[in-house]
Amino acid sequence: MDIGSIWLSLLSTKHIFYNFAMMKVKLTYLILFAVVLCIISSCNSQYKRQQKAQLLYEEGVRLRSERLSEEATKYFLEALSLVNEVETDGRASLQLRANIKDNLGAMYNKHQMFEDALLMHLSAIDDFKKMNDSVGMMTAWRNCGRAAKSLGWFPKTKEYYDNAFQIAKLLRDDAMIATLYLETGRDYYMEIDDYETAIEYLQNAIDGGLQGNDLDIANMTLGILYYYIDENDKAKPYLERALQSDRAGVKMSVYQTLYGIALNEENLELAMENEQLFLKYMALAEKEHNNENIQRVKAESELAAQKNELDAIHRTKSLKLYLIIAAIFIVALVILLIIKRKIAQDRIKSLEKELQMRDKVMLSSRVFTTAKNLSEHLTADAFNFNLTDADWDDFISMTDLVFDGFSKRLLARFSKLTKNDVRICCLAKNGFSNQVIAVILETQLDSYYKRKMRIKQQKMELSEDTRTFEEIINAI
């Protein structure tokens, strides 16, 4: 082989290696380009998720401000699901996630899902801590206190409010300090019957510059506290100021307290006037409560239907003439139902006998007749009742007779129930409404709702049971 051939061979080999090297470079660039595209696409997708979560959160906040709690909850849940898919833990995503959790916890608390609410607020605090967001932590600690109070965990309530207090004082947030004085006095000291300290906290809250609904609640609570310690002259000015509120629930509680004061002072005319106003705002408050609380809509509807049915039966059986007419109507109706719907005759007769036996037995109980009168006509005379332990024992015995030993079966299943808990369960078993039971127990309607929840979650240990309190009682 000559030198020319060797040189041509070398040039050819060099060209091959050069082409191969260029192909490797191009392939490397293609791979890098593909990786960059994937990163950009991924980042864009993450950004879009976060942006959509932000919009959903803002819409949830708007709906919450309009008291549309069910719709707000749906938006917060969807926003949280999206923001949890964002892989980066940047400050913006952390802030958004913490805000969503804190708002969602408030919705859970409103819907009486108190343990879920507390867990959500505590999780929000963890995110706020990562960002050193003192304002967020302060608000979330306060919300933890509210949830703990609803659960009846009063030592925890004080602990959480104290945590919020410490941050508020460091930040010199006078508005939050005033709010925390209000909530600690009302939710902790009042609940543990330390009325003197509660009054001190409420006064500090008012002096701190409370405004709007918080000021109305503070005045109402101070009036009630002074009434509790028999200082009616001090109670009245605060109660009068609280009447400036546009919330029916506040006015209902004020007029209930003014009714008690008037009775204590033997001013029956004023007592009747306050009692009528109490009834008016109790009905309005119940409407507000139903509109704001999505979990009790179904239960309240069923109870209202049951109450209407019982009212019709009681009114029909109040006069002998109506008894005769009702008997004829029932017989005619039974015949018509047998012909048209082919309903079993034995079942109808059994139902009639059960209703007649129940009314005969229960109408001999003073507690039952008092509650029945409250169901039919909430008048001043109806409020003038004084039920003794003997009356309650008789009522429970009659309930056992009608409902096959109900209280004994109840205690056998839930041994932690107290005597007063059993009374509440028997009233619910007899189908009386929440309003009537609250009045006969001489307590606020909101306090009765919370007491039912404590019985279900703590005494019955059924916090995971999705049924309402009334559904559990009726199943026993």
Report pLDDT digits (tens) over 68-92. 888 899 999 999 888 888 765 678 8
Q: Which two tokens stand for residue 287?
A: 């409407």
pLDDT single digits (tens) 214-248: 999 999 999 999 999 999 999 999 999 999 988 88
Cα gap 257→174, rounded to integer Å:
30
CATH 1.25.40.10 residue spans of the chain: 41-172
pLDDT over 90 at 188, yes or no = yes
Cα gap 262→285, rounded to integer Å:
22
For the chain, the farthest-separated pair of C-alpha atoms sits apart, in whole angstroms, at: 138
pLDDT band at 369 (very low <50, low <70, confident <90, very high): confident
pLDDT single digits (tens) 147-185: 999 999 999 999 999 999 999 999 999 999 999 999 999
Q: Which two tokens stand for residue 248?
A: 């029916």
- Please state which CATH class domain 41-172 belongs to: mainly alpha
DSSP state of 296: G
pLDDT single digits (tens) 410-458: 999 999 999 999 999 999 999 899 999 998 888 898 999 999 999 999 9
In this structure, are residues 368 and 396 in contact, taking their beta carbons and an 8 Å threshold? no
At 421 the pLDDT is 94
Which contiguous run of DSSP H or E holds residue 199? helix 195-207
| C-alpha distances out from residue 159 to 148, 164, 181, 307, Å | 10, 9, 14, 42
Side chain identity at 313, as an amino acid letter?
A: I
DSSP state of 387: -
Cα gap 323→328, rounded to integer Å:
9
Average confidence score pLDDT of the chain: 81
In this structure, are residues 182 and 201 in contact, taking their beta carbons and an 8 Å threshold? yes
Which contiguous run of DSSP H or E holds residue 22? helix 3-65
